[in-house]
Structure 1
Amino acid sequence: MTEYSPSVRHDAVMLMRRGVPNREVAELLGVPRGTVGWWRHQDRKQRGEVFTQPTDCPECTGREFDHAAYAYLLGLYLGDGHIISKPKQHHLSIFCADAWPGLIDEAEAAIRTVMALPSVKRRQKNGCAEVKSYTKHWTCMFPQHGPGKKHDRLIALEPWQQQIVDEYTWKFIRGLFHSDGCRITNWTTRMVAGARKRYEYPRYFFTNKSDDIRKLCSDALTAVGVEWTTLARGSDPFNISVARRASIALMDAHVGPKY
C-alpha cells in the first residue's frame, strides 16, 4: 500500500473542504480516488460532521420533474426493470437488448431526465445492456418495488402516478412496448381469383406474466382508442395483441418499432 506524506493528505483535505470533488482532488494530487474518499471520511469523522447524501428525488424534495419522461420510464420499469434496495446497495436497472441501441440510449436519457444527480452506468451482459442508476430514492419514485418477482405481487399505481399516466398515456404505452413488447409482421394466405396468395400484416404484442401490469397496459390502450385482444400462451393469457388497421396506425404514430 502506497504511503503519502502528511502534507499531501493535508492539501487533499483542504481542497475537499472547499467543495472540490474527490475525482478532481485525486487528479490534481495524483492520489487514487479511493484514498481520497477515505481521507474525506476520516476528516468528517474527526470533525463530527454527519454526511447526508445529496438527492434530487422529486418525492423527497418536492421539486418539479419531467412527467413525460417519467411516464416512459415507468413503462420500462414495469416491463424489464427492477430495483435493488439493500443496506449498502441501491440501484435501478433497466435491461435492453443489444439489438436496440436506440432504446438503450432512450432508457438512459429518461433516467437522467427524471433524476439527474445519481450516477448512471451501463453494464454489458450476455445479449443485453443493463442501464443502472445508483440511489436508494428510486424506491420513492417506484413504490411498486417489493420483494420477489413483479408477477407474484400486487402492482397498483399510486394516485400521483395514475395522474401522470392519464396525462402522458402514450409515453407510458411506449415504455411498456419498448420493454416487453414488439412490432412484428404476421402473414396468412387467402384465395384471390382462384389462386392462393400470401398476405402480410403488422401486429403489436405486449407480453407480461403479471395480470396487474397487463391490465395497466390494456387500460391505457383503451384510453387512447386502441383496440386490443388477449392471446393465450398455452392456457396462460400472457399476450396483448393489437392488429386492427386503425389501431396499428395509432401505434405506429406514437410507439413505433424498437430501434
Structure 2
Amino acid sequence: MNAQIHEVAIKTIRKWRRLYQRQGLPRLGSGYPPTPCPRCDAAVLDGSAYAHLLGWYLGDGHIALGRRGVYVLSISNDPKYPDLNQQIAATMKLVKPTGSPCFRSGPATRVEVRWKHWPCLFPQHGVGRKHLRKIELEPWQREIVAKHPEQLLRGLFHSDGCRVKNWTSRELASGEVKRYEYLRYVFANESEDIIRILTETLDLLAIPWRRPRWNMVAVSRKGGVEALDRFVGPKG
C-alpha cells in the first residue's frame, strides 16, 4: 500500500524502513511513547521495589546491550522457586511500569525486561564480572536503601543467600551429649564490595552478623534470625 501511495517499488520501501530502524528512530504510529526514566526525566520511582530489585541485581542480575541500543535486565534464579520468580517479575514491573517481563527457561530461570534506561538505574553495570570490578552505591541509591533496608536485604538473601538449619552438640554435666538445632541466614558472594553493602545494611537495622569465611556472611543469633524472618524468610 505504501509503495502504491509513493509510487515506488516495494523493495524501496523495505530499504527505507531498514535505514530508519538502523538510525534508532521511534516507530511511527506505534502508540507507545518511551517510558520516562526516574534519573533522566524525573519520573516517579517506587523506592521499595527498586531497593528489592537492586538486591537481586547485585546478587544474580546482569545487564546486557540488546538490539537497537535497548538494554536487557536479566535476573537468574532457581526454577524450583516459581513463586519467587513471579515476585521478581512483579518487582521489575513496579520499577518499570510499562515493562513486560519474560521468562527464559534453562538450568536457571531468567526473568528479563528491556529498557534503554537500565544503566541509569543501575550505574554498577559494567564490563566483566561484578567481583572483578568496583561496586559502589551512588548517593541517591544510598538514600533509597536507608529508607528501605529490609527490601535490599530481601533481594540479596533471596539471590545469593539462604535460610538453613544448623546443629551443634553440647556435653551436659551428666555426661550426656545433647544435640541442638538452630536456624541461620547465610550469604555468599565473591565481591568484597557487595558483601560490604550487605553488612552495612545489616548494621542499619542493628542485626548482628559474622564472617565465617572471607566470602560469606552469617546471621546466627536468635534475635537477628527473628528480625530477618519478618521480611526475608525462606525462599520456598
Query: With structure 1 as the length reference, what TM-score do the two structures score?
Result: 0.78
Contact between 1:230 and 1:240, CA under 8 Å: does it hold in 2?
A: yes
Letter in 2 for 1:51: P
Secondary structure in 2 matching 1:257: coil
Aligned to 2:183: 202
Letter in 1 for 2:204: A
Matches within 5 A, 1:122-141: 122-126=103-107, 128-141=108-121
Secondary structure in 2 matching 1:125: coil
Contact between 2:167 and 2:182, CA under 8 Å: does it hold in 1?
A: yes
The whole-number CA distance in structure 2 between the counterparts of 1:122 and 1:181 is 22
1:241 equivalent in alignment to 2:222: no
The whole-number CA distance in structure 1 between the counterparts of 2:92 and 2:65 is 17
Shift of 1:99: 2.0
Corresponding residue to 1:92 among 49, 73, 86? 73
Contact between 1:44 and 1:50, CA under 8 Å: does it hold in 2?
A: no
The whole-number CA distance in structure 1 between the counterparts of 2:61 and 2:167 is 32
Aligned to 1:81: 61
Aligned to 2:10: none
Aligned to 2:201: 220
1:257 equivalent in alignment to 2:234: yes
Residues 209-234 of structure 1, C-alpha deviations (whole Å, 9 max, x = no match): 000000000000011010000111xx
1:165 equivalent in alignment to 2:145: yes
Q: Report the CA distance shift for 1:87/1:122 in structure 2 as closer, same or farther (over 3 A).
A: closer
Secondary structure in 2 matching 1:204: strand
Contact between 1:176 and 1:217, CA under 8 Å: does it hold in 2?
A: yes
Secondary structure in 1 matching 2:126: coil
The whole-number CA distance in structure 2 between the counterparts of 1:238 and 1:180 is 11
Residues 87-107 of structure 1, C-alpha deviations (whole Å, 9 max, x = no match): 646200000101222210111
The whole-number CA distance in structure 1 between the counterparts of 2:151 and 2:201 is 10
Shift of 1:78: 0.2
Shift of 1:59: 1.5
Aligned to 2:88: 107
Shift of 1:202: 0.5
Unaligned runs of 5+ in 2: 5-12, 28-32
The whole-number CA distance in structure 1 between the counterparts of 2:128 and 2:179 is 45
Letter in 2 for 1:42: R
The whole-number CA distance in structure 2 between the counterparts of 1:50 and 1:256 is 46
Q: Report the CA distance shift for 1:184/1:42 in structure 2 as closer, same or farther (over 3 A).
A: same
The whole-number CA distance in structure 1 between the counterparts of 2:18 and 2:185 is 57
Shift of 1:136: 2.3
Contact between 1:56 and 1:116, CA under 8 Å: does it hold in 2?
A: no
Unaligned runs of 5+ in 1: 1-5, 11-37
1:71 equivalent in alignment to 2:48: no
The whole-number CA distance in structure 2 between the counterparts of 1:210 and 1:170 is 21
Shift of 1:86: 5.3
Contact between 1:56 and 1:117, CA under 8 Å: does it hold in 2?
A: no
Once superposed, what is the RMSD of the aligned Cα atoms?
2.5
The whole-number CA distance in structure 2 between the counterparts of 1:102 and 1:146 is 30
Displaced runs of 4 or more, over 6 A: none
Matches within 5 A, 1:167-186: 167-186=147-166
Aligned to 1:42: 17
Aligned to 1:3: none
Aligned to 1:230: 211
The alignment covers a number of residue pairs equal to 219
Aligned to 1:145: 125
